Amino acid sequence: MDVYRAERTKINSDRLLSHEGKQHKLTRLQNQFEVKAMKDLHAMQRLHDEAVVSAKVDAERLLAKGTPQPSDVEQALFNSKMQQVKAKVIFAGSAKTALEALQTLTEVEQPTLAKQAAESVLELSSYALTGTVEDRHQAKRQLSAIHSELFKRAQPQGAEAATEALGRAKAMLNSGIVPSILAEKLGEISRDTQHYANNSYAYFTSKSEFVKRVEMGM
């Protein structure tokens, strides 16, 4: 901006130029700096988007990877435990007993089995939601805690960080790289420089002929 201001002042201070001559030079200066500024912003935008898209793809790849499968022995032991838990829950004499049986599922460590356990908690939760209104509210809180713990355990390693990274990447792709205060300053060059500061792709599409003329010195 300082260079642009200095050049503009130099032209305005030139006593050898007529008013029309000054306007011609100022317009040419404005056009040159507009294109240069937008080229710089476009390069920044591309680097930014490439880095963000790369982070987004990495996060999505990790989340889609899935969890390791249990061995046949692990699955058989889990199935046996699950049958016992179901029986205790279904035939429980109270909601408290049913909750205690479901609580034992938090002992499951293997990710794929933890996912199966979380699904079973949802399936069997109604057996623990009995009694007074307060009892049901408390049971819901406990069931939610059990399910959340199992669900978290069922995610691929690094899934929590990947989910956060994915959210940040999506937000960054939808936000501009030029702060509003800087965009306003770019408005000193031209209205379009400010308008397209955060959308250089649209600038070079909609003003392609203008850019060509400026580059050719026209």
Measuring CA to CA, which residue among 68, 126, 78, 67 is closest to residue 104?
78
Distance CA 40, CA 98 (A): 65
pLDDT of residue 157: 77
Residue 171 exposure: Cα atoms within 13 Å on the Cβ side: 6
What is the predicted pLDDT for the residue at 5?
93
- Hey, CA dihedral for 69, 71, 77, 80, is it positive or negative? positive
pTM: 0.62
In one-letter notation, the amino acid at residue 61 is R
pLDDT for 175 equals 83
pLDDT digits (tens, 9 = 90+) for 28-84: 999 999 999 999 999 999 999 999 999 999 888 887 777 888 999 999 999 999 999
pLDDT at 193: 95
pLDDT in tens, 117-166: 999 999 999 999 988 888 889 999 999 999 999 988 888 777 778 888 88
Percent of all residues in the chain with a pLDDT value above 70, rounded to a whole number: 100
- Structure tokens of 64? 């889609």
Residue-range domain boundaries for the chain: 2-63+178-215, 72-155
Helix (H/G/I), strand (E/B), else coil: 207: coil
The answer to whether 31 and 74 have CB atoms below 8 angstroms apart is no
* pLDDT recorded at residue 84: 96
Instruction: Provide the pLDDT for residue 200.
Output: 95
pLDDT at 198: 94
